[in-house]
Structure 1
Amino acid sequence: MNTKVLVIFAVTFAGAVSAQTVPPEQWVGSPIPSASFLSRSAVVADYVATAPAEARTPQEFRVGPPDAQPGGLSRAEAVADLNLWLRSGLGQSAYRDDFDPAHGHYRAQVAIYQRLRHGPEFTAEVARIQGSGAFATTAQATATPADE
């Protein structure tokens, strides 16, 4: 029975001894304030004031291509683009479980889409959509010229 008491005492004592008693500031330093009290316009104004002459125009601080501007494509152009994307077969392959963008079949479909999108097919598809009325959808554009 004395051994059970000693084991219980040893486990309890070991837990108390190994407890963290040092405040975090002593081993990692004081917290760094991460909140700014400046507004977005104040930060941009400060950047414009201190930027070199060639960068004085305020711009978004981002990486990558700029976002498309509103009105970049008409509705007919957007629907024609979607129709050509579907016609090239990318609509069926992009959401598959075994999707591999490096696979030759996918690259062939992308090449077909690029050819359609930057060729006379795109202009013809836009004209077809504009001629079919204001509410043209992709359901009307499933047939390819080869199917007819």
Structure 2
Amino acid sequence: MNRKQVLGIAAMTLSAFASAVVSAQTVPAEQWVGPPIAFTSSQSRAEVTAGYFASPSRAPQELRVGPADAGPGAVDRATVAADRNLWLRAGLGGYGDNAYMEPGYAQRMADYTRMRNGPEFMAELSRIESAKSRSTAMNTTSPTAGQ
């Protein structure tokens, strides 16, 4: 094929496509989905906005995945520190992402679970809280605490 034939075929194809596009009709949205729904509210925009910002959780419950978030202070620092100390005491601090594949991991995890659910956790928690109360008492009674 020579250049004139290729250009002629391209021009005929383009004109046929253009005429098909021009002759296409658009369909109004109402024909597809029906007329718009008329909505009237009993609240003003300001009342709706104020109610939104006053709500404790701005995300509606039906849009959430999983349990609701714990509020601030749901677990205090002493509980977290006691849990961390038991985790480290069980020897689990040095494990990475594929820890479950390493030898000895299952035994260390069993030791941690036993300590976390046993009297060791309460003992560690009371030790941390008593140390915290001692340091707080020392700070309030020291002569430089008020300066």
Shorter chain as denominator, the TM-score bin is: 0.3 to 0.5
The structure that is helix-richer by fraction is 2
TM-score, normalising length from structure 2? 0.47
TM-score, normalising length from structure 1? 0.46
- Higher-Rg structure is 2
Higher relative contact order (CA 8 A, sep 6+): 1
